[in-house]
Structure 1
Amino acid sequence: MSPEFIAVGAVILAALVFDYTNGFHDAANAIATSVSTRALTPRVALGIAAVGNLAGAFLGEHVAKTVGSGIVGLPAGLESLGIVLAGVVGAIAWNLITWYFGLPSSSSHALIGGLVGATIFASSGEVKWPGIVEKVVVPMVASPLVGVVLGAAVMLAIMWIFRRGNPTKLNRGFRVAQSLSALAMAFGHGMQDAAKTMGIVVLALFVGGYQTSDSHIPVWVIVSCATVLALGTYAGGWRIIRTLGRRVIHLGPPEGFAAEAVAASVLYTAASFGMPISTTHTITSAIMGVGATKKFSAVRWGVAGNIVTAWVLTIPGAALIACLVHLAIAPLYC
């Protein structure tokens, strides 16, 4: 076996490990509100999330192309494969660190931070800063703001439309509706997060010389990434589920439905433009916007502040870890 074959295999394996950690790390994105409102049992919610992730992956082509060719430019060769491997390992490490502390950070930004950090540290390759600003930085700032505003607006609309409704009947109806909104949220998660792993695998195949295009996504890549993400989702991420579902704010079924519907809409819109936004940022900000309509103090802003801190640290944290990993593995291919 050639060194390139081994290196490509190592990157694909690492990418699938990242995909799995992404699944259990971000399972909270799709199901925390449904579980906390008792609209769904945890296992049923995880099953719905896994199915949605699997289906959504087949429509994430635009996001996959952004990650595979729009973030960094790498020449063919072993060093480029080492850069990609270091970036993915940095993202995995950051996922595990934030999962351990129950912080819903962004797996997407961890992956992007890892790739950028390893590329900056290496002697070859380039960071495509204009693409990062357009496709990553602007959506990274805009999506939480949109989530907060739309979350509050949708919740206020629900409160006005159903202002004369019977609370017991309304809660029962919105619990049913949450089955659909949770599935929609999981579908958007698949469009975004499975697609990011697909982009990494395609990038590895391209720089390893096993594919002539950095934009073509083989069917086996879609199926494998979607399946692993679904398995990781079904494994669950209970630490983060508790943070999103209970510690930020107590949600009822109408609030849960509003947050999930808003987050899913934002994810679909971003995916259609190839923007790899964070499902974590989107659903968390939507929850905050919905919760603030009760009263401003209903949101536990201290917990929210810890989450925002994790958001800010994600890209540089993953980048730093990726740099250290690159330094450690560089002698293997130099």
Structure 2
Amino acid sequence: MLDAKFLLLVLIVAIGLIFDFINGFHDTANAIATSVATRVLKPGTAVLMAGILNIVGALTGTAVATTIGKGIVPPTVATQLLVIAALLAAIIWDLITWRFGIPSSSSHALIFSIVGAGVASAGWQVIELGGLTKTFQGLIFSPLLGFLVAFLFMILLLWIFAQMRPMLVSRIFGRLQILSAAWVAFSHGGNDAQKTMGVITMALASYYGWTGSNWGSPYG
């Protein structure tokens, strides 16, 4: 008969996949929205492209998964119930913000759900400040850098294309939109899709036992 810990592990994987699905329709459409709105891509083609490139992006590294898995709370205190609580909180928040059209980051929702569950489970002292600092740096600097780079890039484009015929500009940027949408989808996969990997890593650490630098063997 399967033990309760194993059943909880299976439940966590299932909830993690549900979170990934919700995260997909919550955030992934941002990459292709402009291409569909301007009719450069058909909706079906755009969704297929975004799906494939998100998967490819998820396979390009493990940095985000590592931060989520052990950079917010130590694996030694990441119980299966803690992981379930964090996932459910992030899912509920994503659904609320999606339903009311509130701009929100699924990454920050999951990270601070882990923080909340960790504090409730073991107190503030268990929070890894290094991982949390990375999150705050991204929260503060990415909008500022995004605004500044986009502003400067827009000025450059206006300077380059101001004298061109509108039809030619539309043709050029129609093709460039596909490239930019593909890159955003790929980058989204490299960042967001790894979050669930990190959560499953936490669940595996809780199930098998954490030795500090390696997995404990389930066979003793």
TM-score under structure 2 length normalisation: 0.90
Q: Which residue of 2 aligns with 1:70?
A: 71
Give CA-to-partner distance per residue, 1:299-321, whole Å, 9 cap, x none. xxxxxxxxxxxxxxxxxxxxxxx
Q: CA deviation at 1:38?
A: 2.3
Query: 1:26·1:104 contact (CA, 8 Å) conserved in 2?
Result: no
Distance 1:196 1:214, change over 3 A: farther
Q: Which residue of 2 aligns with 1:81?
A: 80
> What residue ranges of structure 1 are gaps of 5+ in the alignment?
217-334
Query: 2:28·2:188 contact (CA, 8 Å) conserved in 1?
Result: no
Give CA-to-partner distance per residue, 1:111-143, whole Å, 9 cap, x none. 01111011111137811123201x100111100
Cα distance in 2, alignment partners of residues 12 and 127 from structure 1: 23
Query: 1:94·1:110 contact (CA, 8 Å) conserved in 2?
Result: yes
- Output the amino acid matched with 2:100: F
Q: CA deviation at 1:99?
A: 0.8
Query: 1:60·1:190 contact (CA, 8 Å) conserved in 2?
Result: no
Q: CA deviation at 1:212?
A: 6.2
> Number of residue pairs matched?
213
- Asked if 1:40 is matched to 2:41, the reply is yes
Cα distance in 1, alignment partners of residues 110 and 168 from structure 2: 43
Distance 1:215 1:16, change over 3 A: farther
- Output the amino acid matched with 1:121: A
> What residue ranges of structure 2 are gaps of 5+ in the alignment?
216-220
Give CA-to-partner distance per residue, 1:168-223, whole Å, 9 cap, x none. 1111111111111111100000000111111111111111117767889xxxxxxx
- Asked if 1:31 is matched to 2:32, the reply is yes
Q: Which residue of 2 aligns with 1:138?
A: 137
Compare CA radii of gyration and give the structure with the larger one.
2
Partner-residue secondary structure (3-state), 1:75: helix
Q: Which residue of 1 aligns with 2:161?
A: 162
Cα distance in 2, alignment partners of residues 196 and 214 from structure 1: 21
Q: Which residue of 2 aligns with 1:126?
A: 126
Query: 2:54·2:185 contact (CA, 8 Å) conserved in 1?
Result: yes
Partner-residue secondary structure (3-state), 1:35: helix
Partner-residue secondary structure (3-state), 1:68: helix
Q: Which residue of 1 aligns with 2:10?
A: 9
Q: Which residue of 2 aligns with 1:183?
A: 182
Q: Which residue of 1 aligns with 2:96?
A: 97
Q: Which residue of 2 aligns with 1:149?
A: 148
- Output the amino acid matched with 2:164: G
- Output the amino acid matched with 1:105: S
Q: CA deviation at 1:89?
A: 0.5
Q: Which residue of 2 aligns with 1:245?
A: none
Deviates more, 1:33-42 or 1:172-181: 33-42
Cα distance in 2, alignment partners of residues 155 and 40 from structure 1: 23
Query: 1:202·1:215 contact (CA, 8 Å) conserved in 2?
Result: no
Partner-residue secondary structure (3-state), 1:165: coil
Cα distance in 2, alignment partners of residues 148 and 35 from structure 1: 23
Q: Which residue of 1 aligns with 2:114?
A: 115
Query: 1:68·1:214 contact (CA, 8 Å) conserved in 2?
Result: no
Cα distance in 2, alignment partners of residues 116 and 29 from structure 1: 27
- Output the amino acid matched with 2:121: A
Q: CA deviation at 1:67?
A: 0.8
